[in-house]
Structure 1
Amino acid sequence: MDLHFSSTLLILCIFIPIIFVILAKFKSISKNPSTSNSTKFPKSYPIFGSYFTIMKNGERFVQWTSEIVTSTPNLTFALRPGFGLLVIITANAANVQHILKSHFDNYIKGDIITNTLRDFLGDGIANVDGDNWKFQRQLSSHEFNTKSLRKFVEHVVGHELSKRLIPVLRNAADNKSVVNFQDILQRFSFDNICNIMFGYDPAYLSPSLSQEKFAVAFEQAVKLSSERFNSLSPYSWKIKRALNIGSEKQLKIAINQVRKFAKEIIRKKKQGKAYSIEPVDLLSRFLSSRHSDEDCVADIVINFILAGRDTTSAALTWFFWLIYNHPEVEIEILREIREISEATTYDEAKDMVYTHASLCESMRLYPPVPMDSKEAVNDDVLPDGTTVKKGTRVIYHPYAMGRVEKVWGADWAEFRPTRWLQREVEGGKWSFVSRDPFTYPVFQAGPRICLGREMAFLQMKRVVACVLRQFRVVPEGGEQPVYISDMGAKMKGGFPVRIEERETD
């Protein structure tokens, strides 16, 4: 008998009877109203904890946990996912500041996260702690703050807009066709981040919207890596990886393709065969600073591609859906962008105050990264009195934090950009009122705050200005989109729209 088959059969023989017993118990309880819990807190059972309730709320895990945590007095609750694990979930800003800043050294990525993602992210900045993280952060922070990189970003975004995004949208408008705007924005962001990181243009956003090998492999690696977190226990995916079967076999193939491609570009950069017009992409900068170990540099680059690939596209997807459903906001944005030139530079983008507020409001309701977690190094007590034992995972919940009535008011469910604005003088211009980053941790906060925040806002504002000047983005159908998340937030099934030419004044 084949070794892979026999090993898999052995695992099934051990676990299936146990699972069926627990499932039967779970179903009998859920069908009996007299034993159902009237509160929102999930029941916990021996061994499996609340695992089956978690699975029942699989696709809406973010919304489900948000409903629970925002219903608690201190905006914090404990969840038992099974097998003795305990997870603390919080939407309390004081707790978030405690975790991300004042007790930063006590809350790390931890083994569960780093081991689950190491095959894909290696020892890159998003997947490490301690001295390794500090070194990469210092190196990256210096490069992100150079004027030459900013000019390069402005050039890359401008080229991608004028040569790719606008022609694709105009073609859709001319043909009166329905297009998946989420997919288009993801392709746009992928091209941008690859150019900025590698100086390499994958041309993923092309008129044919065809597949591109590196982009497809990267998407597959993200999808399958995130699926590891949904396993019954870490041992299930580790066993499949050891046996090289199923999703783990597919993941290995995808990761090998991503890393092979990254290393090929690194070698060409070392040989002076740069893809970019000027050697100002981040890869060239890392190599010129004498950090030439291929595995190390590949880790850094892959981590930054992941960080920039879906975040801006996710934010823009929900933004365009929201402004279509709030035409009064679209009118104000149009008025603002017609008063400026093209928002081509960081300074010009700063003048788009109302647009900036609209983007922040959109990300309050639909954050690109809805949840993030840390692991406690030592025993601790959070500001709200919650006890945290060593090794416990603590999840802070930006999606839920954007729905806290005490913070945002009774109208928290409304899309209202003016909650971020105030008039400088009576009848004067708007000025932006920023929020405490621990109340609004959409870009994280503290020492790990997002390095690409300003770059992301420049890209998003330029897309908004360029698209809305020429087109109306009209959702196809009237259904409420479904917010889902793996390593980032998306609309389930995409964002089908029609593109209409905007009448000029």
Structure 2
Amino acid sequence: MRGLVDKSRKYHPISGTVLDHLFNFNGLIDFMTELASQGKTYRMLGFLRHEVYTADPINIEHIMVTNFANYGKDLFMKSSLDTVFKVILGVELDTMCGTFEEGEMFSNAFDEASAAVMYRFFNFLWRVKRFLNIGSESVLRNSLRVIDEFVYKLIRIKIEQAQRLQDGTNGDILSRFIELKKTDPKYLRDIVLSFVIAGKDTSAVVLSWFLYMVCKNPHVQEKIAQEISEITKVESS
């Protein structure tokens, strides 16, 4: 938040300043957890801007589920998923361009499953829905089926490739596990999905924040462009 305070609007309560973050740096997570327990959404005052923190389930649902597309991470989500899959499986998922139909189906199923799991925090009847296989729980079950079919298929292909090559030329993480004789499909599926969960949203959020800060600091943008140009030997336009 930036600029003068509009007295006609209601603002969240102030819980401190960025200096409080500095003073509590060694126990920052505990400090922020304590603030969140006192008020689910609060402001921290800074020198040039104010920051809003929220642990309110309604706000989180709005950002991550209900109005997800409004928060400028959609292409970053696709890009980070493509990158994670390339590193883990050596597979071009290409959800950015949508040229891989099965990859697109996996991506959509993964997002639907994530949203359905998130919805459990707000719907105390989710166990009933799961038993009856209705609503969001039905979506979750179908999405998990698509996810499993896709990942298990890729695992089978990787195992077959490893048996044919026998020289360890594949550089992806899954191939490394297979080389170590870790060939149980369920174990490998859990490894793959753990990496996807750990790398997808986190990378996308970091990239979003990075570009936001770069846009606010054009002089830094110029330095980054120059460094990239020098490393790649490509003139920046």
**TM-score interval (norm. to shorter):** 0.5 to 0.7
Task: Read off the aligned partner of 2:144 and give its amino acid letter.
Answer: I
Cα RMSD, aligned residues only? 3.8
Partner of 2:183: 292
Cα deviation digits, residues 152-171 of structure 1 (max 9, x gap): xxxxxxxxxxxxxxxxxxxx
1:181 to partner: Cα distance: 7.2
- Asked if 1:266 corresponds to 2:155, the answer is yes
Correspondence for 1:242 = 131
Residues 1:94 and 2:13 are matched in the alignment: no
> Which letter does structure 2 place at the counterpart of 1:255?
L
How far apart are 1:329 and its partner, in Å?
2.6
Residue number among 196, 206, 219 corresponding to 2:111 in the alignment? 219
1:358-417 alpha-carbon deviations (Å, 9 max, x no partner)? xxxxxxxxxxxxxxxxxxxxxxxxxxxxxxxxxxxxxxxxxxxxxxxxxxxxxxxxxxxx
Task: Give the C-alpha shift of residue 280 in structure 1.
Answer: 1.8
Aligned AA for 2:208?
T
Asked whether the equivalents of residues 93 and 100 of structure 2 are also in contact (C-alpha less than 8 Å), the reply is no
Give the letter for the 2:27 counterpart: N
Partner of 1:457: none
The runs of 5 or more residues in structure 1 that have no matched partner are 1-62, 76-90, 99-179, 344-465, 471-501
Partner residue of 1:192 out of 71, 75, 83: 83
State the SS of the aligned residue for 2:136. helix
Shift of 1:336: 3.9
Percentage of matched positions with identical amino acids: 27
Cα 1:264/1:335, change in 2 over 3 Å: closer
Whole-Å Cα distance in 2 between the matches of residues 68 and 267 of structure 1? 54
Which residue among 49, 68, 74 is the counterpart of 1:183?
A: 74
Give matches, 1:62-141, under 5 Å.
70=16, 92-95=24-27
Cα separation, 2, equivalents of 1:189 and 1:215: 11
**C-alpha displacement of 1:326:** 2.5
1:209 Cα deviation from its structure 2 partner: 10
Change (3 A) 1:246 1:191: same
Counterpart-to-counterpart distance in 1, 2:169 and 2:75: 27
Q: Shift of residue 328 of structure 1?
A: 2.7
1:332/1:227 Cα in 2 relative to 1: closer, same or farther (>3 Å)? same
SS at match of 1:229: coil
* Aligned AA (2:26): A
Q: Tell me by how many angstroms 1:194 deviates.
A: 0.8
Against the structure 1 CA distance between its residues 307 and 69, is the aligned structure 2 distance closer, same or farther, given a 3 Å change threshold? farther
CA distance in 2, matches of 1:205, 1:255: 22
- The match for 1:317 among 208, 215, 218 is 208
Equivalent pair of 2:89/2:175 in contact (CA under 8 Å): yes
> SS state of the match for residue 315, structure 1?
helix
1:303, 1:207 → 2: CA distance? 23
Give the CA deviation at 1:95: 3.4
Partner residue in 1 for 2:56: none
Whole-angstrom CA distance in 2 between matches of 1:203 and 1:262: 15
Q: Which residue, out of 140, 145, 164, partners 1:251?
A: 140
Q: Which of 304, 317, 326 is the equivalent residue of 2:217?
A: 326
Letter of the aligned partner of 1:265 in structure 2? L
Give, in whole Å, the separation in 2 of the partners of 1:292 and 1:188.
28
**How far does residue 300 in structure 1 lie from its aligned partner after superposition?**
1.2
Q: Tell me, in whole angstroms, the C-alpha distance in 1 between the residues paired with 2:186 and 2:100.
A: 31
Between stretches 289-298 and 326-335, larger displacement belongs to: 326-335
Once residues 183 and 74 of structure 2 are traced to their aligned partners in structure 1, the CA distance between those partners, rounded to angstroms, is 34
Question: Match for residue 307 of structure 1?
Answer: 198
Q: Give deviations 1:196-218, integer Å, cap 9, x for gaps.
A: 11122122222879881111111
Describe the SS at the equivalent of 1:271.
helix
C-alpha separation between the residues in 2 aligned to 1:190 and 1:95?
Answer: 32
> CA separation in 1, counterparts of 2:187 and 2:158?
15
Question: After the TM superposition, which residues 5-16 of structure 1 pair with which residues of structure 2 at under 5 Å, given as runs?
Answer: none
Higher strand share: 1
In structure 1, what is the equivalent of residue 232 of structure 2?
Answer: 342
1:189 Cα offset (Å): 1.7
Cα distance between partner residues in 2 of 1:337 and 1:327: 15
- The aligned residue for residue 173 of structure 2 is 282
Q: Verify: 1:228 aligned to 2:117, yes or no.
A: no
Q: Deviations over 1:452-480 (max 9, x none)?
A: xxxxxxxxxxxxxx9xx64xxxxxxxxxx
Q: Which has the higher contact order (CA 8 A, sep 6+)?
A: 1
What is the alpha-carbon distance in structure 2 between the residues aligned to residue 330 and residue 303 of structure 1? Answer: 33
Distance in 1 (alpha carbons) for counterparts of 2:27 and 2:72? 37
Cα distance change on mapping 1:197 and 1:243 into 2, 3 Å: same
Give the Å deviation of 1:262. Answer: 1.0
Q: Distance in 1 between matches of 2:29 and 2:72?
A: 36
Please state how far the C-alpha of 1:289 moved relative to its aligned partner: 1.2
